Amino acid sequence: MEDNQAQTGKVALKYGVILGVIGIVFNLMLYYQDLHYQLDLKRIFFTIGLSLVFIVVGSFIGIQEFKTKNDGYLKFKEGMKIGVGMSLIAGIIGIAFSFVLAKIIDPEMEQKAIEYATEMMLDSGMDPVEIDKQMESQKNSNVYWQVAGGLVFNLIIGFVGSIIPALILKKDKPAY
């Protein structure tokens, strides 16, 4: 049993790093197009959907690899461990890169995001005083809450994205 747990961890690590690198490439593409700070509802939903697709595909490939190495058998729990672990590792890599992007590569990113959000709120007809209050609260956001929120988000996406591949590929060893 210990051998299987080590293998799930290795597979989760391998595909988590791959997904983390894909996320970095995606964020660099946004950066080079100067879109990395522009968060609106459409982009948020697109990013969540794209993340879910990557997690499902990565989970499917990773779980299939584990199943092949495990003589064709896979417990649902093992599939979920791979998917959620992979998502957690990719999330840690993504969060670390986000800090590098915001603090080193583009230190003006926060100010750009605030200006973009202010412009969007003004365009929607919001009161300037209310906008100032909201922007001030964004400037004082806690880094620890941001990291925790990012990790929880990745765990939820990993859980949801690995359910289907784990169910499809599940094959228990015969009891005899």
List all residues 6 or more positions away from 171 whose beta carbon is below 8 Å from its beta carbon. Answer: 67, 72, 73, 74
Written as six digits, the tokens of 162 are 């690995």
List all residues 6 or more positions away from 150 whose beta carbon is below 8 Å from its beta carbon. Answer: 91, 94, 95, 98
CB 26 within 8 A of CB 129: no
pLDDT bin (cut points 50, 70, 90) of residue 38 is confident
pLDDT above 60: residue 4: no
Q: Is 106 helix (H, G, I), strand (E, B) or coil?
A: coil
pLDDT above 80: residue 22: yes
Looking at residue 146, what is its pLDDT? Answer: 83
Looking at residue 62, what is its pLDDT? Answer: 95
The pTM score is: 0.83
Overall average pLDDT of the 24-37 stretch: 84
List all residues 6 or more positions away from 103 whose beta carbon is below 8 Å from its beta carbon. Answer: none
pLDDT bin (cut points 50, 70, 90) of residue 24 is very high
138: part of which helix (H) or strand (E)?
helix 128-139
Overall average pLDDT of the 38-47 stretch: 80
Q: What is the pLDDT of residues 96-125, one digit of tens each?
A: 998 898 889 888 887 787 788 788 888 888
Residue 6's φ and ψ, nearest 5 degrees, are -65, -40
Q: Nearest CA to 17 among 77, 96, 76, 78?
A: 96
pLDDT above 70: residue 165: yes
Looking at residue 139, what is its pLDDT? Answer: 65
Overall average pLDDT of the 131-155 stretch: 80
